[in-house]
Amino acid sequence: MAMMDELHVSLSPRLSAVRSLAQMVEEFGDANKLPDQQIYMINLALDELITNTVSYGLRGVTRPRIEITLQVGETSLALTMEDNGQPFDPTANPDPDLSSAVDERPVGGLGLHLIKTFADRVNYEYVNGKNRLTLEHDLTPEAR
């Protein structure tokens, strides 16, 4: 199979879109020989980000759009998500307390924390009426 180093998907913003996208990401990951852990983390991030955006950010937007781009470079993997919803900076969200006991542990806030923890670099900007979030994961030489 030929190497495909970029996957670009324009989604109609529905919760069910996460499923078909996950399938495409897995195929893209396999074709590029990405480690299972990387593919899993990308799909974990997409599930969280798309759910948040569809449920909150894009509510009431006339022509809602979500654009997903995955790029494999020599040393890193980059996931970019753009949407034309309400401005929302996930990097500004406070981290949950991960040391608290079962009774005190809050049930929310986990997804964004996992995304930020797993990515080596996270960048958010709001430009031309769009949120743009980029997550970069370094690839180890053995993984390529």
Partner 1 sequence: MDIEVAEERDGGALVLLPIGRLDSANARSFESIVMERVGSGEQRLLVDFSRLNFISSSGMRVLLMAAKKLHASQGKLVLCAMPDHIHEVFRISGFDQIIPIRDTRESALADA
Site for partner 1, rule CB under 8 A: 15-16, 18-19, 22, 36-37, 40-41, 43-44, 47-48, 51, 98-99, 101-103, 105, 107-108, 110-111, 113-114, 117-118
What is the phi-psi region of residue 33: left when phi exceeds 0, alpha when psi lies from -120 to 50, beta otherwise?
A: left
* Residue 103 vs 142, nearer CB to partner 1: 103
With respect to partner 1, which residue has the nearer C-beta, 6 or 81?
81
Strand order in the sheet with 76-83: 6-11, 66-72, 76-83, 130-138, 121-127
CB nearer to partner 1: give 30 or 125: 30
In the bound complex, what is the minimum distance in angstroms from residue 31's beta carbon to partner 1? 19
Please say which residue, 26 or 67, places its beta carbon nearer to partner 1: 26
In 3-state terms the chain splits into helix, strand, coil percentages (rounded to 5) of: 35, 25, 40
Nearest distance in Å: CB 45, partner 1: 9
